[in-house]
Structure 1
Amino acid sequence: MSQFRVSCAVYRGGTSRGIFFNKEDLPEDRKLQYKIFMSGIDAYNPSQINGLGSGTSHSSKVCVISKSNHNEIDVDYTFYQIGIGEELVDDKGTCGNLMAAVGAYAVDEGLVDVEPHANQIDVKVFNTNIKRVLTINVPVINGKAKVAGDYMVPGLSQPGAKFVISILDPGGGKTGRTLPLGSVYALKTEEKSYDVTFADAVNPFVFVQAKDLGITGVEPNRELASNKALLDEIETIRSKMAVVSGMAATIAIAKQAPSVPKIAIVTEPQDYVTQEGELIKADDVDLVAKMLSMGAFHRTFAGSGLYCIAAAAMLLGTIVNRFTREPDNNHERIIRIGHPEGVANVKVARYKDKLDIAYVGLERTARRIIKGDLYIPE
């Protein structure tokens, strides 16, 4: 069988990895684009052995970058979540981790001008998925994105150069409001009733309390992943909320689009042990959370989810806000989120009227892994 070639690069950003394309190198036909994305990752096999994925949601990703036509914007960026064992290309959400790599790609590919002796540059990015502008502070050396550094991201074993991502007015990208259903929504399933929060900040998320699911929220992922009844109930909550929020017309359609909204389980600060055996003390976090992506527990916590949970933590009355310890009159703070592989710190600011979020910010590392030609079967 013959194959054709498409230029691309593979980048890691935070705890995610994806294939990056310059839009100019892709065909205009959308169906052919999707074939390239699915073949490149190998959406067709659960193991993704025939492509560059690795059978996990945080490595089944594609980003398409182009020079922007918007005023004062450097590049446009579209994110695609690719299926695992199913033919799926989903652009309804975005990826907060790979945003750092978008900045690195823009610098490495010469899509922005870098001063000869600069050690950093702010890259202005328009994310088409959420229709929001990002500012990505990219460390540079010799005109390229810097890789080496001493900043450590939980979920990685080696430090790197620090990238800082800031998103202004992150709420309402998909539904028009950060809390389209109010602070808390009462949801009924066949099993029981739940108080949940639906928050639309960067990526839409459903937040449910661990205790309402009959768990502590700090159990190992492998233990929870073997509980089919729990997974089924979580998916029921997620898909029902997709319909209630207007993101899906029916439960069946919601189940066909498992990438958004995502769902996270939250609980109060408590001692727990990470998947690597590190003890996290209750005093080191403002809350503890686990998230699911594409029906599976996330190894760490998606960057887009970190933005969303931090935003929800600052909005009065939400499920997440119930667990924050500092006084509610603080308009800007760092939210410390305990997740399965450590603690993530997210900077978040609320407008003075306390009704919405002014910005969210996250620090990540990124690097180019490989650049070359991707071969796609005819």
Structure 2
Amino acid sequence: MKMQVNPNKNGKVQHAVPCCLFRGGTSKGLYFLAEDLPQNADERDQVLLRLMGSPDPRQIDGLGGAHPLTSKVAIVSKSERDDADVDYLFVQVVVDKAQVSTAQNCGNILAGVGPFAIEKGLVPSSVSHTDVRIHMLNTGANATARVETPGGMVNYQGNAQIDGVPGSAAPIFLDFLNIAGSSCKKMFPTGNAQDVILDVPVTCIDNGMPVVLINAQSFGLTGAELPSELEANEALKANVEAIRLEAGKLMNLGDVSNKTVPKMSLISPALQGGLINTRTFIPHRVHDAIGVLGSVSVATACVLSGTVANELIQKSFDDSAMAIEVEHPTGQFTVEMEVSGSHDISQFYVKRAALLRTARLLMRGEAMLSCE
């Protein structure tokens, strides 16, 4: 761990921790080289809590943005694996609790890992674009990020637009590899396309992110409700959480009362021309969009016959490449997929899942860690 020491006027010191602030997809977080943080996980977590300003709903004494989507961390190092250039550990820093989680991946923060790795010299850049092979330590899955690098420099300006982010930026293409069952050991961890939990039909799936899909109508909802409306509905939140706790056991995740997975996605008919509409609990706040890997899991559930998603959209899929448009409160995700065996859960296989994201470097410098 490398830290510089800066005395304040009272003679005490603050430690300077090198980092960058990136917007990755529709999230924002601090990006660190692993060597700049403590190697001991407990010490590292305490440092991250203090740097983010948790626990505090406003995170007023730290760099967090007072929301789960802006209280995230990427820890990156050069990989020793033959199939990866860098290792990436995602850390979710809870806003109002002294708690962090490494139980999940984050595909939005992943979008900034390629640019960060190039900026820090972990990966040599090419003359037009650079493919960064990323090993996601949280689950052991891999992804490849294609980053524009004209003249050997990361390009952040471009015409790519993603819903939930104003303006445009350079495209970053993410191609996900071996993500099925990343946290739950199986894509459909219960062995079923559909289960019933507390009298509610659900689909439990993990194709990169553990997600429980529920038809919004099961709770008397249309699916068009705003995130703020859902968060204000205490009875709904209690019901969703009760199902989540039971689903965690069935999904091989154990007691999830203090975990950020599985995510809970309420699905409904598309509103804006997509294939399906979503409202996602992450797990206790409602996402203003939907997570990258969460959208991959939802899209995957749409394809397999017998899931609550497939029953909702009432569409059959042949074994082929396809684009699944997943709507969310601020727009939609297009997930490119190639599958086989979509009519039989025992033969169902996802050959490829990919999508477009953008990222932007917002700040690089040092975060100041106050002394206790």
Distance 1:169 1:25, change over 3 A: same
Q: Is residue 255 of structure 1 aligned with residue 253 of structure 2?
A: no
Q: Is residue 356 of structure 1 aligned with residue 339 of structure 2?
A: no
Q: Is residue 234 of structure 1 aligned with residue 240 of structure 2?
A: yes
Summarize deviations over 1:10-59 as a string: whole Å, max 9, x none: 11111001111101111222222111211121221011111111111111
Q: Is residue 37 of structure 1 aligned with residue 48 of structure 2?
A: yes
Task: Find the partner of 1:335 among 294, 317, 324.
Answer: 324
Q: Is residue 161 of structure 1 aligned with residue 170 of structure 2?
A: yes
2:368 alignment partner AA: Y
Q: Distance in 2 between matches of 1:326 and 1:137?
A: 32
Calculate the TM-score normalised by the size of structure 2.
0.92
Q: Is residue 90 of structure 1 aligned with residue 101 of structure 2?
A: yes
Calculate the TM-score normalised by the size of structure 1.
0.91
2:147/2:173 contact within 8 Å kept: yes
Relative contact order higher in (CA < 8 Å, ≥ 6 apart): 1
Q: Distance in 2 between matches of 1:51 and 1:356?
A: 44
Summarize deviations over 1:332-358 as a string: whole Å, max 9, x none: 211111110012111111135751212
Q: Is residue 112 of structure 1 aligned with residue 123 of structure 2?
A: yes
Q: Distance in 2 between matches of 1:154 and 1:134?
A: 22
Q: Distance in 1 between matches of 2:214 and 2:292?
A: 19
Structure 2 equivalent of residue 173 of structure 1: 182
2:292 alignment partner AA: G
Q: Is residue 145 of structure 1 aligned with residue 154 of structure 2?
A: yes
1:170/1:357 contact within 8 Å kept: no
1:331/1:352 contact within 8 Å kept: no
Q: Which moved more, 1:352-361 or 1:137-146?
A: 352-361
Task: Please report how far the alpha carbon of residue 326 of structure 1 lies from its aligned counterpart in structure 2 after TM superposition.
Answer: 4.8
Q: Is residue 124 of structure 1 aligned with residue 133 of structure 2?
A: yes
1:107/1:143 contact within 8 Å kept: no
Q: Distance in 2 between matches of 1:326 and 1:265?
A: 19
Task: Find the partner of 1:223 among 229, 236, 240.
Answer: 229
Superposition map of 1:1-378 within 5 A: 1-115=12-126, 118-181=127-190, 182-188=192-198, 193-249=199-255, 254-257=256-259, 259-269=260-270, 271=271, 280=272, 284-324=273-313, 326-352=315-341, 355-378=348-371
Task: Please report how far the alpha carbon of residue 325 of structure 1 lies from its aligned counterpart in structure 2 after TM superposition.
Answer: 5.7
SS in 1 for 2:69: helix
Unpaired segments of 5 or more residues in structure 2? Answer: 1-11
Distance 1:150 1:326, change over 3 A: farther
Task: Please report how far the alpha carbon of residue 244 of structure 1 lies from its aligned counterpart in structure 2 after TM superposition.
Answer: 2.1
How many percent of aligned residue pairs carry the same amino acid? 27
2:261 alignment partner AA: V
What's the C-alpha RMSD, in Å, of the aligned pairs? Answer: 1.4
**Residues paired across the two proteins, number:** 355
